[in-house]
Amino acid sequence: MGILSIRLPDIGEGIAEAELVEWMVAEGDTIREDAAMVAVMTDKATVEIPSPATGKVVWLGGEPGRTMAVGAELIRLEVDGPGNMKADAAEPAPAAAAPEPAPKDAPKAAPKPEPKPESVARPAPKAARAPASPRKEGEKPLASPSVRARAREAGADLRFLRGTGPAGRITHQDLDDWLSHGGPTGGPGRVQPDVSVEEIRVIGLRRKIAEKMALAKREIPHITIVEEVDMQALEDLRGRLNAEGGERLTVLPFLMKAIARAVKAQPALNAHFDGEAGVIRRYGGVHVGIATQTGTGLMVPVVRHVEAMGLREAAAELARVSAAAREGSATRDELSGSTITITSLGPLGAIATTPIINHPEVAIVGVNRMAVRPFWNGTAFEPRKMMNLSCSFDHRVIDGWDAAVFVQKLKSLLEAPAMIFVDG
C-alpha cells in the first residue's frame, strides 16, 4: 500500500489557479480510476477532475471555495501500488492558500512532516445532533434560571420561544430576539417571526457572477435605451420557417443575425474597452454571448462568428452552447470571448429592463416580452405582435447618438426581416 499524492492539473492555457467548487468524494471513500473526484472552476468554466487511480481517499486539499494554484496538492489516495509518498511521512501539509512552488512532476521526496491541520486531526463528530426540534407537547421549555427570570420580568412565556442552544435551550439571545420582534403580543396561534439567518458562502459561480457584475456596474457608466419593435413581419416569417419543419426557430437567431448586420455598419459596438490600458479592441468577428440561466446561476455561452453563419446554423450553435452551459459541460472556450451580448428573459421579459454590460464589452441587447398590442396604422388600431428592446451601452466610448442609431437599425432590421439577409 502506498500514498498517491495528486496535484491540481493544468486545466487550460494560461490558467494559474482554480477554485474548488465541490468534492465528489469524502475522506475514507474509495474512488475508482477515472471517476470524478472534484469540480474546480476557472475563469468561467467548471471542470471535473477525474481520479488517475483507484484508491481510498485519505486527505483532501481544501474546503470548497478555496482557490488553489495549479500544481498545488489536491488530494491523497491510498493505493495498492507504491504511491509517490512514504506512508509514514504522509502527514498532510497544512492547507496553505499560497501556492507552493511545486513542479508538475514532483520528485518522490517525502514532504516535511508538519503539524496536522486541525481539520484533519479532529475526528469526525459522528454524533451529529439534529437541529433543535420543536418541543414535544407538555415538555417544559429549556432555559437557565436567569433567562427564565428575565422572561418573567418581560412577560414572555417561554413556551412560545424556540431555543437555538444545545438541546433547544433558550438563550438570552433567543429571548432578546423574541422580545425585539413584538414578543409578548404573540399567542399560540400566531405565526412566530422567523428570525433565522442562514449564512451562505458566496463561492464558485456565484462569486464570479458577483465580481463580474460589480466590476461592470462600477466601471461602466451605462446608458440604456428602450425601443418598441413591431415583430409581426418577423413572426410571420418565423412561423413559415417553422412550418417547413426542421429545428424550431426562436426569435434569438434572428436577433443575432440582425446584430451581426447592424454592427457591420457600426463596428464601435462590437468591441472590448480595456479601460486600464485605454484601448478599444474592435472585433471583426461577431461573437454573440447569450446570457443563460443555469441551475447554478447566470452563464454566458458564446456563439462565435455569427457574421459567418446562416440562420439555422446560428440557431443550432446557440442550442448547443446553451445546453452545454445548463448541463455544466461547457468548455472554457464556449464560455468566453463574446464581443456583444444578448440577454433575454423570454416570457418573463417584462416591458423594459436595464441590462448590465458584459464587461469588457460595450453593448448589450435586452429582449423584452413579446405581446399583441394595439398599433395605430394611420387609420385604425391594429393588433400587432410588439416587443421592446432594452439596450445598454458603455457611455465612455459609445455616444448616445451612436447608441440610438444602433437601436434604430436593429428595429428596422427586425421589422423588415428580409433586410437582415439581403446583402448590398
Partner 1 sequence: MTDLTCKLLILGAGPGGYVCAIRAGQLGVDTVIVDPEPPGGTCLNVGCIPSKALIHAAEEFHRLVEIAGGGSPLGITATAPAMDLSRAKDWKDGIVRRLNEGVSTLMKRAKVRHVTGRAVLRDGKSAVVQTAEGEIRIEAEAVVIATGSAPVEVPSLPFGGKVISSTGALALTEVPKTLAVVGGGYIGLELGTAFAKLGAKVTAVEAAGKILPQYDAELTRPVAARLEALGVRVLTGAKAEGLGEGGGLRVWTTDGHDEIDAEKVLVTVGRRPVTAGIGLENLGLEMDGSFIRVDGRCRASMRGVYAIGDVTGEPMLAHRAMAQGEMVAEIVAGQTRSWDRRVIPAVCFTDPEIVTVGLSPDQARAEGHEVLAASFPFQANGRAMTTGREDGFVRVVARKEDHLVLGLQAVGAGVSELSAAFALVLENAMVLEDVTGTIHAHPTQGEALHEACLRALGHALHI
Query: Shortest gap between Cβ of 130 and partner 1 (angstroms)?
Result: 6
Q: Which active-site residues does the annotation give?
A: 395, 399
Per DSSP bridges, beta strands 381-394 and 222-230 are antiparallel
Q: How far apart are the first and last CA of the chain?
A: 73
Nearest to 263 by CA among 417, 416, 413, 415: 413
Single out the residue of 102, 110, 142, 319 in contact with partner 1 (rule: CB under 8 A): 142
Based on CB atoms, which residue is closest to partner 1, 129 or 240?
A: 129
Contact (CB, 8 A) for 55 and 30: yes
Interface with partner 1, residue 121, by CB under 8 A: no
Based on CB atoms, which residue is closest to partner 1, 112 or 129?
A: 129
3-class secondary-structure state, position 216: helix
Based on CB atoms, which residue is closest to partner 1, 138 or 378?
A: 138
Query: Shortest gap between Cβ of 28 and partner 1 (angstroms)?
Result: 19
Interface with partner 1, residue 169, by CB under 8 A: yes
Interface with partner 1, residue 240, by CB under 8 A: no
Single out the residue of 107, 145, 221, 347 in contact with partner 1 (rule: CB under 8 A): 145
Residue with cell 500514498: 3
Based on CB atoms, which residue is closest to partner 1, 50 or 165?
A: 165
CB atoms within 10 A of CB 52: 14
Interface with partner 1, residue 168, by CB under 8 A: yes
Based on CB atoms, which residue is closest to partner 1, 123 or 187?
A: 123
Single out the residue of 81, 94, 166, 346 in contact with partner 1 (rule: CB under 8 A): 166
Single out the residue of 101, 155, 188, 245 in contact with partner 1 (rule: CB under 8 A): 155
Nearest to 348 by CA among 370, 326, 318: 370
Q: How many residues does the chain have?
A: 424
Choices 51-59, 140-148, 296-304, 337-345 (CB under 8 A): range interacting with partner 1: 140-148
Interface with partner 1, residue 167, by CB under 8 A: yes
Based on CB atoms, which residue is closest to partner 1, 142 or 397?
A: 142
Interface with partner 1, residue 88, by CB under 8 A: no
Helix (H), strand (E) at residue 273 = strand 271-274
Residues 6+ apart with CB under 8 A from 25: 31, 37, 38, 57, 60, 75
Interface with partner 1, residue 129, by CB under 8 A: yes
Query: Shortest gap between Cβ of 140 and partner 1 (angstroms)?
Result: 7
Based on CB atoms, which residue is closest to partner 1, 165 or 186?
A: 165
Beta strands in 276-362, from DSSP E residues, in sequence order = 279-282, 288-294, 297-299, 302-303, 340-344
All cell numbers assigned to 85 = 509518498
Query: Shortest gap between Cβ of 167 and partner 1 (angstroms)?
Result: 4
Helices and strands of the chain, counted as H and E runs: 9, 17
Task: Report d(CA 181, CA 195) in Å as an integer.
Answer: 8
Query: Shortest gap between Cβ of 26 and partner 1 (angstroms)?
Result: 22
* Residue 83 Cα to chain centre, angstroms: 37
Single out the residue of 118, 153, 199, 276 in contact with partner 1 (rule: CB under 8 A): 153
Query: Shortest gap between Cβ of 195 and partner 1 (angstroms)?
Result: 20
Q: SS3 letters for 355-386?
A: CCCCCCECEEEEEEEEEEEEEECCCCEEEEEE
Task: Report d(CA 99, CA 54) in Å as an integer.
Answer: 26
Question: How many residues at the interface with partner 1, by CB under 8 A?
Answer: 19
Contact (CB, 8 A) for 165 and 159: no
Residues that bind partner 1 (CB under 8 A): 127, 129-130, 132-133, 140, 142-145, 148, 152-153, 155, 165-169
